[in-house]
Amino acid sequence: MYTASCLCGGIQLKINTEIPHVFVCHCQQCQKAQGSAFVAIAPIETKNVEIVKGQELCSEYYATTNKKRVFCKSCGSPLFSARLDLPDLIRLRVGIINEPLKAEIASHAFTDYKAAWFEILDDHVKFKEAICE
């Protein structure tokens, strides 16, 4: 079990499952949404995530008609994304997890779009234009 929170601490989550793998996405949409070279996510079944504080601070942005990105409207921290056609799954931003995470990187996606200034130096599976799960 893990806990997670946004930068201001207004939103707090409880994750009731192990997180064995992290997926790294280098697409331009993720770069802009995170303000970084990539996003690190963990697919989590919604039944295993509970917002224990701050539901009223959760705001949504629809990056596409099928995918929403949920963030804290107070501090702007990205929390997770969710596809409408996969209602039982979220893609948790692992940077919000409070405890040390011992998950392994499973893969890198959209590596053809990675930031020019960032070099992928590990040997994990790389997909030029694949989804992150």
* Domain total of the chain: 1
In a domain, 133, yes or no: no
Q: What is this structure's pTM? A: 0.90
- CATH number of the domain where residue 100 is located: 2.170.150.70
**64-79 pLDDT per residue, tens:** 999 999 999 999 999 9
User: Quick count: other Cβ atoms within 10 Å of Cβ 128?
Assistant: 11
Q: Domain range for residue 55?
A: 2-126
Over residues 19-46, the pLDDT tens digits come to 999 999 999 999 999 999 999 999 999 9
Predicted pLDDT at 129: 82
pLDDT digits (tens, 9 = 90+) for 95-127: 999 999 999 999 999 999 999 999 999 999 899
DSSP 8-state assignment for residue 6: -
**Residue 97: predicted pLDDT:** 98
**Residue 132 is assigned to a structural domain of this protein:** no
How many Å from the N-terminal Cα to the C-terminal Cα in the chain? 21
Structural domain includes residue 20: yes
**Residue at 14 is within a domain:** yes
